[in-house]
Amino acid sequence: MSVCPVYQATGLEAYSPRGKLSLIEANREGRLPFSDRFEELLSYCLLCGACTNACPAGVNADVSIQEARARLVEEKGLPAGKRYFFHYLLDSERLLPFILKSGSLIQGLLCKRIPEDSGLHCRFPIPLLAGRSWLPPLAPTFFLDNDLPQETSAPAKAAYFTGCITNYLFPNVGKAVLNIFDFLGEPVWAPKKQKCCGFPAFCAGDEETARSLARANISAFLDGRFDYIVTTCASCSSHLRFNYPRLLAADPVFAEKAAEFSAKVMDISVFLSHNKGFPRQLSDLTPKTGSLKVTYHDPCHFRFREKIFEEPRLLIKSLPGVDFREPAGGAACCGHGGLFNITHYDLSQEILDKRMAVLRDTGADILVTSCMGCLLQWKEGLVRHGLNAQAMHLVELFDIFLSK
């Protein structure tokens, strides 16, 4: 229990992994039916995997909680709002992009810009966004709407899975990926038909939508000839690697394809550090003016599922003139947790507040991370706490040095 971010913040046994697992066991045995209170308690989990990682008995608590959410959805169905968002927007090829493009055009009428990091404030009260001090603006041009590299007769070694947050909010992350591959002198393919990885629906227990999105992405990527599918989001990467094969294990058409697809997925920090002489190439770059004090936030899905720790640090430390600073006390959850930041915003920020104090103590100019959800969380935290620092993705840090 002591490693659970929710339990650390609340001190409540019912919100701890042990409390939820006791309820789940009673439900499986038929002693406790699903109820509104049961559903609420299941929602108090970030699915970060800290409890599973620490359990000496090897109990996969986060997997059990997600499976319970899926059984609950099968039995009671999704609430209307989630059903509309997952079924009709997230899994739509045209509707979600159309709505977000329209939102990009009118966001100036609904919101006003604030100076810090070009964030937004709502002009009008919107219940879902109540209390938020910062909102990321929608990009004027979405990443996948740009003139991107596509498959040619010469096969690319890598394809790029973009993810929703990069596509709709932070296209500069995607552009930094393209700049890195251009610097390496290698092509990278970015298929236009890719969709959301499906992790938000999966977290909510909507495995039907998660399967549909998995099939669409597998079809979009396995049409190409390449060795790797690089990602720039720990949540996407973990979901693509570990959950796609499980979701489609019983699918007679996609089970084998899911295994082939997932075997190719690799975070870009692993790709660059293990498959390239990129660290040496970084060290040969021209230092920027002055020393940059940089710290790194480890996404939970990297720490507990993919075991990615050294690769981002190796690359950051290879940059000339960078003063790398480890956070005191080691890595810890930032509190974003995908839908958790939306459904339990205040608690999400309470978890983040502890990390903001650690960041302040590092004296870092730049906080770097490798998860787009974590990046959103840290950007808002910097505004809420008034810290004079930047939060950026790892590839954006590289792009500072690669840009002429």
Q: Give pLDDT tens digits for 173-193.
A: 999 999 999 999 888 989 989
Cα dist. 330→35, 104, 277 in Å? Answer: 38, 38, 28
pLDDT for 247 equals: 97
Q: Which residue segment(s) compose the domain that 25 sits in? A: 5-77
Mean pLDDT, residues 310-333 taken together: 95
Whole-angstrom Cα distance, residue 343 to residue 204?
11
E strand intervals along 170-318: 188-189, 228-231, 265-267, 292-297
Query: Is it the case that residue 101 has pLDDT exceeding 70?
Result: yes
CATH number at residue 386: 3.40.50
User: Would you say residue 108 lies in a domain?
Assistant: no
End-of-domain residue from the set 23, 56, 77: 77
Mean pLDDT (the chain) is 89
Whole-angstrom Cα distance, residue 236 to residue 302?
11
User: Would you say residue 54 lies in a domain?
Assistant: yes
pLDDT for 104 equals: 77
Question: Residue 140: phi, psi to the nearest 5?
Answer: -60, -40
Mean pLDDT, residues 220-243 taken together: 93
User: Would you say residue 264 lies in a domain?
Assistant: no
pLDDT for 331 equals: 92
356-392 pLDDT tens trace: 999 999 999 999 999 999 999 999 999 999 999 999 9
User: Would you say residue 113 lies in a domain?
Assistant: no
Whole-angstrom Cα distance, residue 166 to residue 162?
6
Whole-angstrom Cα distance, residue 333 to residue 138?
26
Strand, helix or coil for residue 7 = helix
Query: Is it the case that residue 117 has pLDDT exceeding 60?
Result: no
User: Would you say residue 182 lies in a domain?
Assistant: no
Number of domains in the chain: 2
Region of 11 on the Ramachandran plot (φ > 0 left; ψ -120 to 50 alpha; else beta) = left
User: Would you say residue 238 lies in a domain?
Assistant: no
DSSP assigned state of 363: T
User: Would you say residue 308 lies in a domain?
Assistant: yes
End-of-domain residue from the set 27, 60, 77: 77
User: Would you say residue 243 lies in a domain?
Assistant: no
End-of-domain residue from the set 53, 77, 101: 77
